[in-house]
Structure 1
Amino acid sequence: MVTREGSIRPRVTDWRLTVESRAARARTDLGALGPADPGDPEGAQWRRAAAESLDIVDAVLNRFDRWWRSAASWWSGWHIERAWRALHEAEISIIAAGGDLSGRLPGLRARVAAYLPEDDLRRQALEELSPGEFPLATVRVVVVDAVRAAFDNSDGAHAAARALRNKLVVASIVLLLFNVAIGVVGSLRAGLVPLCVHPPSMLSTCPGGLRPSPGDVWLVQLLGAFGAIIATVISLLRRRPSLAPYVLIGYQALIKALLGAALSVVGVLALAAGVTEGLIGISTQPALQLWAVLLGYSQQIGTRLLDNYADHVMEQARPMPETEAPR
């Protein structure tokens, strides 16, 4: 898509669709306010602030960067978070520009309650407001402070989700390098990474046959990754969709697959070393390969804590509900 400036517009993503739709509704709400009240100069200022914030949103959405800048933007997340912060400021300004703040208090209280704790003084002040008890200027200050604090918490959660995503990326790179290094070592010299079990009074059993082979480590890693993928698919079926600006599911799945491959090698090494002698008897190649799959699946025990933490971060990073249209 080509913009008016002649540059190529960035590809559409989920967060862009969400921001675009909310920005379009915000412009509609701003237009629905009608002409400014000459007796309310502060309201006119809030209208201008809303328009300026929406212009920032449009500038971010229509920005086009070369791939090297896009990579830096992806890592820092500045374009996502700047767009959301500008959109939030626009929505706050539209709320403040409306004259009927008292009529919107129930909806605003519900939205603020989702992001601020009960002991927050700004939330308490908003909940204690009574329609008609205070002048518009006082009500406007209380409403803006409470809603802005709620939006700030939401924006802070976006940064936390980005930080977790970056940590998952770094951890994935480390695990990938480890798995590749172990695989290369096993390929250069078969048996250097001993993965063959030696049952009593029976022939030795290796992942690829009766003798060590250069592909044993790769085979065990592949089977371990397969077991991890099975666990990942099962966990994905329990997930609910999220509209958060950052998506962590793919990075979590990558961590699981790579960790499953690594744990499978470590586990088969333990079996070959006789650590489980007397508890687990392996006498055939299929049995050894099956254990490689099960060991890869077992990564789910360790990554469950990561899943729970990621779910908590994504729950906090979900977009704050849209404000109601001015009445």
Structure 2
Amino acid sequence: MQQAAESQKMTWRLGSWWNGQAYEGTLACLHAAEVAILALAQPVRAWTRIDAVLALAGPLCQKDPRLALVEQLKQKNKPQDNRVPWAVAALLEAAYAVQEERAVRSRNFRNRLIRAGSVLTLLLVVTVVVAWRNAGAIPVCTSGCPGRADSGLREVGLVMLLGMLGAATHVVGRLQKMGGSWNPYNLPFYQELIKLPIGALTAVIGLLLVDTEWLPMIEAPESWRDVMACAVVFGLAQIALTRTIDQRAEKILASEPDAEEAKQLEKVPDNRVQRAPEFGT
């Protein structure tokens, strides 16, 4: 408990925020303290926690032998059994190990989104610089540029902005459907934030590909108003590219792991728990 308090008092630093040291360290210490208290409790007192531990560990440790042992003890209905505290504590430790692993996976996915978003933002900056230094190098409009023949910084910048607006339309719609989440790393925020630079890039790329052999079914816009409309549509089209991100985030944010993730987490308790209690006979 003292270690948890010290971890909680840790001053904010970029490294601890990126590595999750403060949150994950505090969580691990609190879990270890609760497991130790339960292991040292009297059998009757540990028996009162058996249903809560089974409800917590059931979805996480479906094939764990510790779950089978606790279920067996419950069926025998012997609260005075000396094995109850150790068995329940071991199962709780395994369930907490899976919870901590899911938190680590959530942080790693958040960090990947941040890195990807940084790279996309850098690409946007490079695109803006190219459009500023070389007018017409990025022809987002041909005959529809307002007041000029070649597209420059103004046209490319507006296309990017409209692409972001198109992506933001999708983000707002998802936020209305999104409820509360257990996630401690604000994963939904980064999940939606990365769609804005993706929308800007898809708007630019889409306008470059119209009326070519890559997109022959879409004619080149003839007016600036058509260019703006295409930019919004192409920005909204980032849905196709971010669908995989949404699916992965939904699995992480789910209160219980799905079948595929549960299979991946089967070995986590044995790998993360450093010393498992010995069951009495």
- TM (norm. structure 1) is 0.72
Report how far residue 109 of structure 1 moved. Answer: 1.3
Q: 2 CA distance for matches of 1:228 and 1:188?
A: 27
Q: Specify the alignment match of 2:64 in structure 1.
A: 120
2:281 is the counterpart of 1:310: no
User: Is the CA contact 1:224–1:295 (under 8 Å) kept in the aligned structure 2?
Assistant: yes
Could you say what secondary structure the match of 1:237 adopts? helix
User: Is the CA contact 2:113–2:190 (under 8 Å) kept in the aligned structure 1?
Assistant: yes
For this pair of structures, how many residues does the alignment match? 252
CA 1:142–1:72: 2 relative to 1, 3 Å: same
Q: Specify the alignment match of 1:111 in structure 2.
A: 56
Q: Specify the alignment match of 2:77 in structure 1.
A: 131
Q: Specify the alignment match of 1:44 in structure 2.
A: none
2:31 is the counterpart of 1:92: no
User: Is the CA contact 2:47–2:85 (under 8 Å) kept in the aligned structure 1?
Assistant: no
Report how far residue 95 of structure 1 moved. Answer: 2.3
User: Is the CA contact 1:232–1:253 (under 8 Å) kept in the aligned structure 2?
Assistant: yes
Q: Specify the alignment match of 1:298 in structure 2.
A: 237
Aligned partner letter, 1:287: D
Q: 2 CA distance for matches of 1:76 and 1:281?
A: 47
Q: Specify the alignment match of 1:222 in structure 2.
A: 161
Q: Specify the alignment match of 1:80 in structure 2.
A: 23
Could you say what secondary structure the match of 1:283 adopts? coil
Aligned partner letter, 2:77: P
User: Is the CA contact 2:211–2:219 (under 8 Å) kept in the aligned structure 1?
Assistant: no
CA 1:192–1:279: 2 relative to 1, 3 Å: closer
Q: 2 CA distance for matches of 1:85 and 1:276?
A: 53
Q: Please show how residues 40-55 of structure 1 align to structure 2 within 5 Å.
A: 54-55=1-2
* Structure 1 unmatched runs, 5+: 1-53, 198-203, 319-327
2:91 is the counterpart of 1:146: yes
Could you say what secondary structure the match of 2:177 adopts? coil
Which deviates more from structure 2 when the two are superposed, residues 143-152 or residues 125-134?
125-134
Q: Specify the alignment match of 2:4 in structure 1.
A: 57
User: Is the CA contact 2:211–2:217 (under 8 Å) kept in the aligned structure 1?
Assistant: no
CA deviation string 1:212-255 (max 9, x = no partner): 23312111111111111111111111212113221112212221
Q: Stretches of 4+ moved more than 3 A in 1? A: 272-281
2:211 is the counterpart of 1:265: no
Q: 1 CA distance for matches of 2:110 and 2:216?
A: 41
Q: Which residue of the other structure, out of 164, 182, 191, is the alignment partner of 1:252?
A: 191
* Structure 2 unmatched runs, 5+: 258-281
Report how far residue 75 of structure 1 moved. Answer: 1.1
Aligned partner letter, 1:294: V
RMSD: 2.1
Report how far residue 311 of structure 1 moved. Answer: 1.6
Aligned partner letter, 2:116: A
User: Is the CA contact 2:182–2:255 (under 8 Å) kept in the aligned structure 1?
Assistant: no
Which deviates more from structure 2 when the two are superposed, residues 147-156 or residues 54-63?
54-63
Which deviates more from structure 2 when the two are superposed, residues 275-284 or residues 76-85?
275-284
User: Is the CA contact 1:102–1:131 (under 8 Å) kept in the aligned structure 2?
Assistant: no
User: Is the CA contact 1:194–1:272 (under 8 Å) kept in the aligned structure 2?
Assistant: no
Report how far residue 277 of structure 1 moved. Answer: 4.4
Report how far residue 317 of structure 1 moved. Answer: 8.6
Aligned partner letter, 2:253: M
Aligned partner letter, 2:153: P
Q: Specify the alignment match of 1:189 in structure 2.
A: 134
Q: 2 CA distance for matches of 1:176 and 1:264?
A: 14
Report how far residue 276 of structure 1 moved. Answer: 3.8
Q: 1 CA distance for matches of 2:217 and 2:248?
A: 38
Q: Specify the alignment match of 2:149 in structure 1.
A: 211
Q: 1 CA distance for matches of 2:50 and 2:189?
A: 40
Report how far residue 314 of structure 1 moved. Answer: 2.2
Q: Specify the alignment match of 2:274 in structure 1.
A: none
Could you say what secondary structure the match of 1:177 adopts? helix
2:176 is the counterpart of 1:240: no
Q: Specify the alignment match of 2:101 in structure 1.
A: 156
Q: Which residue of the other structure, out of 93, 108, 115, is the alignment partner of 1:170?
A: 115
- Computing the radius of gyration from Cα coordinates, the structure with the larger value is 1
- TM (norm. structure 2) is 0.83
